[in-house]
Amino acid sequence: MRGYPAENSKDSVQSAKALRINVLSQYLPPQNNLFKTINASEAARSLNQLLEQVALGDGRIEIVGTREGCVCVLVSKTELDALERAISILSGTAEAQEMRELLGRIASAASRSVEGSLQTQ
């Protein structure tokens, strides 16, 4: 057809790459200050600034408390929604169903093994 590049032409390959980058950029966090880690005291002092930074799409912030294992991540609502949407989409795939079935078989085998070891005690 006139006006359209050939399917395997250089223009069509470049267009496909540009489209893929455009689509991916909607779901990937920005590359500047992507992941930052700060302690809870620092987060408390600058919470409003951190909220604005993250809400405007400037990465994620890991906040570490004083207790062992006390860690959380500040992400924007937009990023959380995108992650939840991706999980929802992926959970409906055949691969996800296969993983659920495999996990079910593993859990069943593990419980039979535990039951067997309890009966021998």
Q: Quick: pLDDT tens for 43-100.
A: 999 999 999 999 988 789 999 999 998 999 999 998 888 888 888 888 888 888 888 8
In a domain, 80, yes or no: yes
Amino acid identity, position 25:
S
What is the arithmetic mean of pLDDT over 5-29?
A: 52
In a domain, 19, yes or no: no
In a domain, 68, yes or no: no
18 confidence band (pLDDT: 50, 70, 90): low
- pTM of the shown model: 0.51
In a domain, 105, yes or no: yes
Give long-range contacts, CB 8 A cutoff, 24+ apart: 25-29.
26/82, 27/82, 27/86, 29/57, 29/59, 29/60, 29/79
Number of domains comprising the chain: 1
Residue-number span of the structural domain to which 111 is assigned: 76-121
10 Å Cβ neighbour count for 61? Answer: 20
Question: Helix and strand tally (H, E) in the chain?
Answer: 5, 3
d(CA 23, CA 30): 13
In a domain, 17, yes or no: no
In a domain, 107, yes or no: yes
Please say if the pLDDT value at position 26 is more than 70.
no
In a domain, 84, yes or no: yes
